[in-house]
Amino acid sequence: MEMRGKTVLITGSTDGVGRYVASRLAAEGAKVLIHGRDAVRAKALIDDVVQAGHAAPAFYQADLSSISGTRALAEAVTRDHQRLDVFVSNAGIGSQNDGPQRQESADGFELRFAVNYLSGFLLVHLLLPLLKAAAPSRIVNVASLGQHPIDFDDVMITRGYSGSRAYAQSKLAQIMFTIDLADELKGADVTVNSLHPATYMNTTMVRAGGITPMSTVEQGGAAILHLVADDDVAGRSGLFFNGMSEARANPQAYDADARRRLRTLSLELAGLSSRA
């Protein structure tokens, strides 16, 4: 895909791998829409892009830990743009952000499930008209090799909580959603794929977990950009990648009944139950 002139929204793009991807796409001439909670970080990214001689990205400030904040982001993007060529769902929090204890979103959902998965689920549904208007267009869900099966009797992990389990469950939910959405979008010329970009990149999230980085944002960014723009994945949908290579996710991702249960729950939690 030739990126010049294309409109790309990247959530969680004021830091880490999202920032790198935003910078690269701006350098290729894309109209980049960046998202984050921190306006200072956003300004630093915009200044860097402009100083490099490229068009300034547009910043959308939103807190994706709440349904209302997620809806506000979608409304702002829809107000400002008539099409969206690529949506990269990258925003997320790690297993140890703000401590190891169980945390809840403003809506009372387990926080990692809300931010890492449910916000992207809702954003995609709200932005689908823009993505369909730009077809052929692409959706990229930034997931992880760290995956844990969902216990549908305790999705919010009120028992036996651990941050690593919560994070891994949210990432598997993203992959399950990717497979379902690909089926839903057959014939629409909108593809959706998910990936594990790289292991323990040198990001704030990784360092917050007390983990020594093993790879770089450049490595992870290259894998994301592969799904954003490369010709070899054009028309391919519903896949999971480990870096540059197609891979298999946790077996629950391929369980149609588990995906149905997740979809029904997610539509209800996101306030989209009329779509069920």
Catalytic (active-site) positions: 167
Which sign, positive or negative, has the C-alpha torsion 132, 136, 141, 142? negative
Q: Map tokens 């701006």 to a residue.
A: 26
CB 144 within 8 A of CB 93: no
* Phi/psi of residue 60, nearest 5 degrees: -120, 115
Of 151, 186, 183, give the one whose Cα is nearest residue 166: 151
Residue 260 has which token pair? 């149905």
CB 59 within 8 A of CB 37: no
